[in-house]
């Protein structure tokens, strides 16, 4: 594979910026395996309406990354691990495209302010197996991650007490 194919990520879009996507009609390229109509039925009587609304809206129109940085196009080269194994990277990307989780390749930047971050490959537990990483912390001090408030992207796992509390609310 040549360097052109190793830089395939410059032609991909991970559809996350709803505002720009609507303007360019790229939002329709996004896909979720979640069946929103079924989720809507399950959440119909959910007592925490704000949470239910957030989930439904997110699965219908996309979840916000809470990115607050400049809306400027950026390009970057892939990580060494991806450049050294372009066949594996292309195979992984094709699988994601075929599954509808990413769109591309594109001849031209589909969103004028699209930020392109490097892709890399990280070995899995088994020999010869890799997973793709999207390096959103590059470049240092001006990456996508640098402009996302950690308070808005932290993960908090529920425990059994949380489940009991929700059950009590539902049973009232």
pLDDT digit string (tens) for 17-33?
A: 434 444 445 556 566 78
Strand partners, 122: 131
pLDDT digits (tens, 9 = 90+) for 121-130: 999 987 889 9
pLDDT for 70 equals: 92
What is the DSSP track for 69-135? S----B--PPPHHHHH-HHHHHHHHHHHHHTTSSB---SS-SSTT-B---EEEEE-SSTT-EEEEE-
């Amino acid at each position: 594979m040549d360097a052109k194919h190793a830089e395939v990520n410059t032609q991909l879009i991970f559809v996350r910026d709803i505002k720009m996507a609507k303007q360019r009609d790229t939002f329709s390229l996004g896909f979720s395996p979640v069946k929103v109509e079924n989720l809507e039925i399950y959440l119909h009587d959910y007592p925490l309406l704000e949470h239910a609304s957030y989930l439904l809206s997110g699965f219908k129109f996309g979840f916000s990354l809470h990115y607050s940085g400049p809306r400027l196009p950026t390009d970057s080269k892939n990580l060494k691990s991806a450049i050294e194994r372009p066949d594996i990277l292309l195979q992984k990307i094709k699988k994601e495209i075929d599954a509808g989780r990413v769109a591309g390749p594109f001849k031209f930047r589909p969103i004028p302010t699209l930020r392109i971050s490097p892709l890399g490959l990280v070995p899995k537990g088994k020999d010869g197996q890799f997973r793709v990483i999207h390096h959103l912390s590059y470049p240092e001090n001006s990456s996508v991650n640098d402009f996302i408030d950690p308070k808005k992207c932290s993960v908090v796992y529920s425990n059994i007490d949380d489940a009991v509390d929700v059950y009590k609310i539902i049973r009232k």
